[in-house]
A and B are shown apart, each in its own frame.
Chain A
Amino acid sequence: MITLYHAPRSRSSSILWLLEELGEPYRIAITPIVYGNGEGNAAPEGYRRIHPHKKVPAIDHDGTIVFECAAIALYLADAFPQAGLAPSVGDKRRGPYVTWLAYWTGVMNPIITARFRGWDNDSPTGFGTFEDMENHLAGTLESHPYIAGDSFTAADVLVGGALGYFSGTLLPPRKSFDDYLARIADRPARQRALAKDTG
């Protein structure tokens, strides 16, 4: 059984979408967190057993605990290959797939946070420039329909989720972004996840 430690409309929402794509049974453990605007309450200390920093998402799969979004996505998509959300090891498309998951973690996430909080104004952050990231995303989506190639993967859940959140605000609108977002928005699993992400 899979348990998702989740806070409504937070960083764990993308894993809710991923679980709907996966089609395996799962349960949701609603977990208190402090939101970016300061609202909410931190989880009790005992929750550090699941997530060492008391954050979401984290999953428990038959006793195996996984945290960090990209780690969870890689873990679940490999554990349930029949869902077709990850090219397997040895497949030519594996390289771009793992690259995009790591890029979301190590480049997109901190660069977007830095821009959002306004702390890349005065000094470089070391993660790379916002414009480089924007150009790399656009170049990739102009050359194939999904982020890691011709088919939808778990990497689209994370990268597409972030793009959907910031396109038109922090990220200036582009046709390639809009087309991509339209392609992934209609997915039934996405719609089911949105409907469940209340409370």
Chain B
Amino acid sequence: MITLYHRPQTRSGSIVWLLQELDVPYETKIVTSLRSADGSGAVDPANPHPHGKVPALTDGGETIFEGGAIALYLTDKYRTKTLGPAAGEPKRGEYLSWLFYRPGVMEPAFMERRFAIKHVFGAMGWAPPEEVEDLLNRHLATNKYLLGAEFSAADIMLGGGLNFMLMFKMATETPVLKDYCARITDRPAFRRMMELDAPK
């Protein structure tokens, strides 16, 4: 049985969305407390994440954390619906590149902007935020989804993150990015996630 350690309205919402898309049985354990970014605050002892963050997921005896790892793990193992090409299939390379583009490039680039840190080429393993926005605008101007014609878990992870950043004005809104986010969130599984996550 899959167990998702989740806290509503946080990053782990992407995994709720993904599980709803895959339509596999799972249970949700709500993490009651999180540590804040500066390390203060209590960790919920029931949360298996080593840093007390969400999402974390257990499946049988395995514990998986970090959004990109969970998305890849789930889409490789549960093929109820194809949400990413398997190893050996076309577009596997693109799928992996975009899945890891979010934590490896997009997140730190926007963090750099938020903290007004000057980008030093070569010293950072990512690109400056303007280049990230430029690439996404160019790519999504001619592609319906990150992998082209087919929706994948990369759209949930990277696209879902982008949707959040546009909402909170951390990324620059353009017609291309706005249309893309409207496209990926106009899905039954996204709406189910929003209902499940709504304040009760």
Determine whether B1 belongs to the interface, using a CB cutoff of 8 Å to chain A: no
Complex: how many Å from CA A139 to CA B94?
A: 34
Q: Is the CB of A136 within 8 A of B50?
A: yes
Of the candidate stretches A19-27, A116-124, A177-185, the one touching chain B is A116-124
Q: Annotate A52-68 by CB proximity to B: 1 below 8 A, 0 otherwise.
A: 11010000010011111
- Give the total of B residues in contact with A, Cβ under 8 Å: 52
Residues of B within 8 A of A166 (CB): none
Q: Is the CB of B62 within 8 A of A92?
A: yes
Complex: how many Å from CA A126 to CA B36?
A: 8
**A125/B97 contact (C-beta < 8 A), A95-B73, A113-B124 known:** no
Q: Which of A33, A119, A135, A139 is most buried by chain B, counting CB atoms within 10 A of its CB?
A: A119
Partner of A95, one of B62, B115, B124, B125: B62
Say which size band chain A's interface belongs to.
35 or more
User: How far in angstroms is the closest Cβ of chain B from A68?
Assistant: 4
Determine whether B198 belongs to the interface, using a CB cutoff of 8 Å to chain A: no
Q: Which of A37, A67, A72, A109 is most buried by chain B, counting CB atoms within 10 A of its CB?
A: A67
Q: Is the CB of B39 within 8 A of A124?
A: yes
**A66/B127 contact (C-beta < 8 A), A89-B77, A136-B50 known:** no
Complex: how many Å from CA A128 to CA B141?
A: 34
Instruction: List residues of B (68-82) whose CB comes within 8 Å of A's CBs.
Output: 68-69, 72-73, 76-77
User: How far in angstroms is the closest Cβ of chain B from A93?
Assistant: 8
Determine whether B199 belongs to the interface, using a CB cutoff of 8 Å to chain A: no
Q: Is the CB of A124 within 8 A of B51?
A: no
Instruction: List residues of B (22-72) whose CB comes within 8 Å of A's CBs.
Output: 36-39, 50-51, 53, 59-69, 72
Determine whether A145 belongs to the interface, using a CB cutoff of 8 Å to chain B: no
User: How far in angstroms is the closest Cβ of chain B from A42?
Assistant: 8
Q: Is the CB of B77 within 8 A of A90?
A: yes
Determine whether A159 belongs to the interface, using a CB cutoff of 8 Å to chain B: no
Q: Is the CB of A125 within 8 A of B111?
A: yes
Q: Is the CB of A105 within 8 A of B62?
A: no
Q: Is the CB of B64 within 8 A of A98?
A: yes
Q: Is the CB of B50 within 8 A of A132?
A: yes
User: How far in angstroms is the closest Cβ of chain B from A132?
Assistant: 5
Of the candidate stretches B101-109, B178-186, B188-196, the one touching chain A is B101-109
Q: Is the CB of A36 within 8 A of B123?
A: yes
User: How far in angstroms is the closest Cβ of chain A from B133?
Assistant: 12
Residues of B within 8 A of A106 (CB): 66-68, 103-104, 107
Q: Is the CB of A71 within 8 A of B93?
A: yes
Q: Annotate A167-190 by CB proximity to B: 1 below 8 A, 0 otherwise.
A: 000000000000000000000000
Q: Which 3 A-B pairs have the closest CB atoms?
A: A106-B103, A95-B62, A102-B69
Taking A78-B92, A106-B67 as given, write out 9 further A-B residue pairs in contact, using a Cβ cutoff of 8 Å, ordered by the A residue number.
A66-B94, A70-B68, A90-B77, A94-B73, A101-B69, A110-B108, A110-B125, A113-B124, A133-B51
